[in-house]
Amino acid sequence: MIRDEIQKLLCEAAKTQNIDENFCVSFSAMPNLCDFQCNSCFAVAKKLGKNPYDLACQIVEAIPQNQFFTFSVARPAFINITLTNQGLKHMSQVLLSQQFNLGDGKKIFLDYGGPNIGKAMHIGHMRSFNIGEAFKRLYRKLGFETVSDIFLGDWGMPMGLIMAMLEKQGVFDDYYSGKKQLTIEVMNTAYPQASQLKTQDEKFKQRAEQITLFFQQKQQPYYDFWKRLRDVSVAEIKKVCKLLNVDFDLWNGESNASEYVSTILKIFEEKKLSRISEGALVVDVAEEGEQIPIPKKSPDEVQRYENPMPPLMLKKSNGGDKYETSDIATIYYRNKFYHPDIIHYFTDARQNQRFIQIFRACKKSGISPQEQLLLHTGFGTINGKDGKALKTRDGGNMQLSDLLNMLYEKAEQKLVENGTEHDDDLKRKIGNAALKFADLSNSVEKDYNFDVDRVLSFDGKTGPYIQYTACRIKSILSKAPKFEENYSFSSQHKEMLISLNRLASSYRICFENKSLNDLCGSLYDLASAFSSFYNSCHILSEQDKSLQSAHLTLLKIVLKFIEEACDILAIEVPDKM
């Protein structure tokens, strides 16, 4: 990257002056003064007991003459760097030939989505889909091998509740024999009824728990019925994934882990890591210093601890498996069959603590090898524009499907206002772009407020604005005369080139910060840079053919980078809108 090149020039110049220190280069905070800047002279001078301004001058004087950059010193001790026209050309070529190999072929297992069979998907699942999918694409871009798993919640009580409900209504056999067709509507009706009834009717609740245990033990007809419920539900989830432009290599879930549960329990037992506590099987995962003894009230009282990291429960006192256990068993079989170098999870931040517990338990027991990196990204919640939970028009909690329908509907209204013909796919693409861009623009761990009208605007920091920019460039390129590529750029192209550079640098920043906001921000800056260029310059009517071909060459590069960045965010770029 260009910044590395400049940095190298500075460090080498310093070395000729017997100064072996690091000089960092950043994008300019004052683009009207320079393109890049180095602020390191303050710290280095302090360390060496020199005057910062003199040091900056000494280094700049020691840089050999070169055709790409000009260096100058600004008080108190900044080194300002400006690109020459040759430098602009050079930068565009560096950008185009850039290859990322941060991953070095390492294998990353991504666990995201995590919808629960039998229950409607909520907004949190949507965030997991968006963030996880974008990370998968980013990882691939950076040279990692990826495996993605949706990790369905398919082994718990909801399926037992649905079956118990159908049984109570006397239709279980009809659905089992196929006399009645099992559909997602049947499940969507039975589940809320059942979860309501379980709070009032203890016998019903016990029956649902019993059925849950039956299918978990593969007892018929419950196990077969469970499989059918899972199939119907998966077909429905696949439709949503298609809408959201998300896909998975594996459609596994908690159920796939069940056969490894006894193996992992044995590992904990053999390594003497598990113990019985109040009838449940637990593993202590608190680390040194985290076990704080609670002062005893009397000398013969047992020592109790105030424990910021509670033990992880592997088995409930009634013998049932825990959600944590299935996560650990899943890590076990992922390692057995896929050997990932990294496993990266994406869930709501409310699961932060349980992932710390799970990771520690896996490291202690060796289920995750020491060199394996276990990562969890816990994201914040989306609220309505009033800062409160998102609600539907009739005041109910907004589910994922409600949100998508609303977005697509509003996107369609916008298209109608703009006189575009009815187009289902286009409204989906625009609705998704609005959603994903808003979702990924915020630093991942933060809660944020979602204003449907604002995120759908074709202007401002929104997904549709980025799409619209790409469409405008496509339209110019389609109307342009044939041209030879020309990289003779000048100051009028600079803002776009610097923005391109920022965008390309953002991939690494997102990787390091585990948040995609920097990519979204630089993508928006690039779109704005194009917009001001477009407003100040008549590209298609330019008479100077050489200049026109430079404009068009740059537009092609800008489009390529916008498309690439959108692809990472899983935002689809239409041809026109």
Amino acid, res. 550: A
Please, which residue, 3 or 363, has the CB nearer to ligand ARG?
363
Q: Which of 7, 37, 58, 116 binds ligand ARG (CB under 6 A)?
A: 116
Q: For residues 423 and 420, what is the distance between their CA atoms, to the nearest angstrom?
A: 8
Q: For residues 128 and 131, what is the distance between their CA atoms, to the nearest angstrom?
A: 5
Q: Which of 69, 151, 260, 511 binds ligand ARG (CB under 6 A)?
A: 151
Q: Which of 52, 87, 114, 340 binds ligand ARG (CB under 6 A)?
A: 114
Interface segment toward ligand ARG; rule CB under 6 A; list 109-117, 129-137, 280-288, 541-549 = 109-117
Please, which residue, 327 or 572, has the CB nearer to ligand ARG?
327
Please, which residue, 90 or 376, has the CB nearer to ligand ARG?
376
Q: For residues 411 and 420, what is the distance between their CA atoms, to the nearest angstrom?
A: 11
Q: Which of 6, 37, 103, 111 binds ligand ARG (CB under 6 A)?
A: 111
Please, which residue, 114 or 160, has the CB nearer to ligand ARG?
114
Interface segment toward ligand ARG; rule CB under 6 A; list 72-80, 108-116, 169-177, 267-275 = 108-116
Please, which residue, 255 or 441, has the CB nearer to ligand ARG?
255
Please, which residue, 153 or 311, has the CB nearer to ligand ARG?
153
Residues 343-382 that bind ligand ARG (CB under 6 A): 345, 347
Q: For residues 402 and 232, what is the distance between their CA atoms, to the nearest angstrom?
A: 20
71 neighbors 63 (Cβ within 8 angstroms)? yes
The two tokens of residue 32 are 């009207």
135 neighbors 111 (Cβ within 8 angstroms)? no
Residues 47-86 that bind ligand ARG (CB under 6 A): none
- Give the H or E element holding residue 213: helix 202-216
Q: For residues 179 and 453, what is the distance between their CA atoms, to the nearest angstrom?
A: 46
Please, which residue, 374 or 455, has the CB nearer to ligand ARG?
374
Q: For residues 362 and 346, what is the distance between their CA atoms, to the nearest angstrom?
A: 18
Question: Per-residue x/- mask for ligand ARG, residues 273 to 292, rule CB under 6 A?
Answer: --------------------
Q: For residues 56 and 62, what is the distance between their CA atoms, to the nearest angstrom?
A: 10
Beta carbon of residue 414, minimum distance to ligand ARG (angstroms, whole number): 32
Residue 129 binds ligand ARG, judged by CB under 6 A:
no
Question: Per-residue x/- mask for ligand ARG, residues 299 to 338, rule CB under 6 A?
Answer: ----------------------------x-----------
Please, which residue, 327 or 525, has the CB nearer to ligand ARG?
327
Q: For residues 80 and 37, what is the distance between their CA atoms, to the nearest angstrom?
A: 5
The two tokens of residue 496 are 């776009």
Q: What is the 3 state secondary structure string of 496-555?
A: HHHHHHHHHHHHHHHHHHCCCHHHHHHHHHHHHHHHHHHHHCCCCCCCCHHHHHHHHHHH
Residues 483-522 that bind ligand ARG (CB under 6 A): none
501 neighbors 427 (Cβ within 8 angstroms)? no
Strands 304-306 and 292-294: antiparallel
Please, which residue, 153 or 160, has the CB nearer to ligand ARG?
153
User: Among all chains, which residue has been given the structure tokens 């799409």?
Assistant: 467
Beta carbon of residue 128, minimum distance to ligand ARG (angstroms, whole number): 7
Please, which residue, 92 or 377, has the CB nearer to ligand ARG?
377
Question: Per-residue x/- mask for ligand ARG, residues 152 to 191, rule CB under 6 A?
Answer: -x--------------------------------------
Count residues near ligand ARG (CB under 6 A): 8
Interface segment toward ligand ARG; rule CB under 6 A; list 111-119, 207-215, 370-378, 418-426 = 111-119
Beta carbon of residue 238, minimum distance to ligand ARG (angstroms, whole number): 17
Please, which residue, 116 or 432, has the CB nearer to ligand ARG?
116
Q: For residues 398 and 131, what is the distance between their CA atoms, to the nearest angstrom?
A: 20
Torsion angle, CA of 180/183/185/187, rounded to 10 degrees? 90
By the 10 Å C-beta count (0-12 exposed, 13-18 middle, 19+ buried), 163 is classed as buried
The residue number with the shortest CB distance to ligand ARG is 114
Q: For residues 23 and 12, what is the distance between their CA atoms, to the nearest angstrom?
A: 10
378 neighbors 349 (Cβ within 8 angstroms)? yes
Site of interaction with ligand ARG (CB under 6 A) = 111, 114, 116, 151, 153, 327, 345, 347
